[in-house]
Structure 1
Amino acid sequence: MTKATVESGEWPPGISFLRLGSGAALVYLPGLSGSPHLPSGAGLWMQGRLLAPFARRREVVWLHWSEGLEPPVSMAQIAARSAAAIASHLPAPVDVVGVSTGGSVALQLALDHPHLVRRLVVVSAAYRLSDHGRLVQRSLSAAVHTGHTRRAGAIMAAEVAASTPAAVVFGAAGWLMGRSTFAHAGAELLAVIEAEDDFDVGERLAEIAVPTLVIGAERDRFYSPELFRGTAERIPGGWAIVYPRAGHLGTTLHRRYHRDVLAFLDGR
């Protein structure tokens, strides 16, 4: 865990949060999770490592936006819950970073609640999933729905890799950890997957009026470089960065990731 003190709590309407660092508020919307609870143990340590470079210069507010969801639910409804928490507890407008499925939520937030967003960073996400990405998440949903937790772990882990050999190794590791990773997965995860399956805001991107950065990976299996660049191109003043030879997981682990995000948020 990082040396920064991490505060946790819950805001209406049932949005749990982690809070660390100091400075201007940075809302961080994480990706899909197999657990309906806040991260703890190794999961909390990993989130702390990921957020630490931001927390040195910002007050990072990590929102557990998927907690308490039940299908059917839309991405607009999911974003509205985060919007209510931000409006009630933070000095809006705030900078927003959304990662993976959290990036979909962030785009919807900027579209439906523009007064809450100062600058937007969409990481490992685009205005819709690729066709392959949708198939993967439907397979994940089926595995969770039928209680095949090891299969769910293998599916999720394999698809974040950047190459076929890595996918084999990651998939095996995911299978071994699947029972613990998806032990508590249920209605919330299924609701989010269903919402993202329908998510496509390509025709609305021109409505986003805040500076926006899209960061993706060349070998992302859920999206594609064309989707990342296409998302930025449709947003007035949008920018795209695509990291070469990286996969879905490798985007936030890339050596340039924190530097690129902070430079953009600081207007550089």
Structure 2
Amino acid sequence: MDFSLKQGTFSTGLPYLAFGSGKPLVYLSGFTMTHTVPPPGPQRGRAARLVAPFVAGGYEVFWTNRRPGMAAGMTMGDVAAEHAEALRTRFAGPVPVLGHATGGSIALQLAVDHPEVVDRLVLASTAYALGPVGRHFHRDMVAAAGRGRSGMHRAAPGITRNPVLQRLLVAPLWLAGRLNPPPPDPSDMTAMLLAEDSFDVRDRLAEVTAPTLVLCGGRDHLWPPEMFDRTAAGIPGARLVRYPRRGHNILAAPEFVQDVRSFLDAP
């Protein structure tokens, strides 16, 4: 992948990696344990592969994380306000925003509270609020972080509904958590998890004015399917695309890339 890369910080402290050149596309990342950009090496390589199809389509993709040093008690509205000010300062007008998972929750809150900064909205693996499985997982991760552990083994119910497979997944997920423990200071991670835990814009979906595409995996059990349905139905003119055989991480799926590029490039 041969394209330009710049590392920077938006005016409100949000760190970003800017890949390529051309029309701006703001990508709000999914959950991360630290509010940093992927470091050089395998993590940055994965981010580059993720955005490469959009860079090839003529976009400068701003891979964006949350602000380091989040204050305890911040709400999703507070987080969205920081993003809105960052986009106003950096860009001359509204820009397309693609958010995945936690980033999708922020993107949706941003589009509800600050519609003037969002040109087109792509919501990947997210809904108007956390689903019950996702909510339990977040709370388990907060509790585990307080003990210096990751709590990743609690993710099994979000991967499969089969109780036997859930039990089989506990060990490899636990090992993955041991290999990728929470940072010594998990306050940013905890603040973001708790902000998303109280996130709920179901009654405000009609306030979204940007053209919107909602995408989800049919095997993403962090939310019940009807929550994705209600999210798309509540946003005026939104379209829902469900990939029956995909789980939570739909970003690298060829059909996802094709659907998102077609949506972003439409007149």
TM above 0.5? yes
- 1:214 corresponds to which letter in structure 2? V
Residue 25 of structure 1 corresponds to 24
Please tell me whether the aligned partners of residues 162 and 246 of structure 1 are also in contact (alpha carbons under 8 angstroms): no
Q: Which runs of 5+ in 1 are unaligned?
A: none
Question: What is the SS of the residue equivalent to 1:253?
Answer: coil
Please tell me whether the aligned partners of residues 149 and 182 of structure 2 are also in contact (alpha carbons under 8 angstroms): no
Shift of 1:6: 1.7
Shift of 1:191: 0.7
- 1:260 corresponds to which letter in structure 2? D
Please tell me whether the aligned partners of residues 104 and 125 of structure 1 are also in contact (alpha carbons under 8 angstroms): yes
Residue 72 of structure 1 corresponds to 73
CA distances 1:214-246 after superposition (whole Å, capped 9, x unpaired): 001111121122111110100111110011021
Runs (4+) off by over 4 Å: 162-171
Please tell me whether the aligned partners of residues 95 and 120 of structure 1 are also in contact (alpha carbons under 8 angstroms): yes
Q: TM-score, normalised by structure 1?
A: 0.91
Alignment of 1:157-196 (within 5 A): 158=156, 161-162=159-160, 164=162, 171-184=170-183, 186-196=186-196
Question: What is the SS of the residue equivalent to 1:52?
Answer: helix
Residue 16 of structure 1 corresponds to 15
- 2:205 corresponds to which letter in structure 1? L
Percent identical across equivalent pairs? 37
Change (3 A) 1:174 1:64: same
Residue 132 of structure 1 corresponds to 133
Residue 109 of structure 1 corresponds to 110
Alignment of 1:1-268 (within 5 A): 2-40=1-39, 41-57=41-57, 58-149=59-150, 152-156=151-155, 158=156, 161-162=159-160, 164=162, 171-184=170-183, 186-249=186-249, 251-267=250-266
- 2:48 corresponds to which letter in structure 1? G
CA distances 1:4-27 after superposition (whole Å, capped 9, x unpaired): 222111122211110011221100
Please tell me whether the aligned partners of residues 219 and 245 of structure 2 are also in contact (alpha carbons under 8 angstroms): yes
Aligned length: 263
Q: Distance in 1 between matches of 2:178 and 2:52?
A: 29
Please tell me whether the aligned partners of residues 66 and 192 of structure 1 are also in contact (alpha carbons under 8 angstroms): no
Shift of 1:253: 2.7
Change (3 A) 1:46 1:168: farther
Q: TM-score, normalised by structure 2?
A: 0.91
Shift of 1:108: 0.7
- 1:234 corresponds to which letter in structure 2? G
Change (3 A) 1:36 1:77: same
Shift of 1:132: 1.7
Shift of 1:49: 0.9
Shift of 1:178: 2.1
- 1:29 corresponds to which letter in structure 2? L
Question: What is the SS of the residue equivalent to 2:159?
Answer: coil
Shift of 1:66: 4.3
What is the RMSD of the two structures over their aligned residues, measured on CA atoms?
Answer: 1.9
CA distances 1:120-157 after superposition (whole Å, capped 9, x unpaired): 000000001111211111111111122123xx23334x
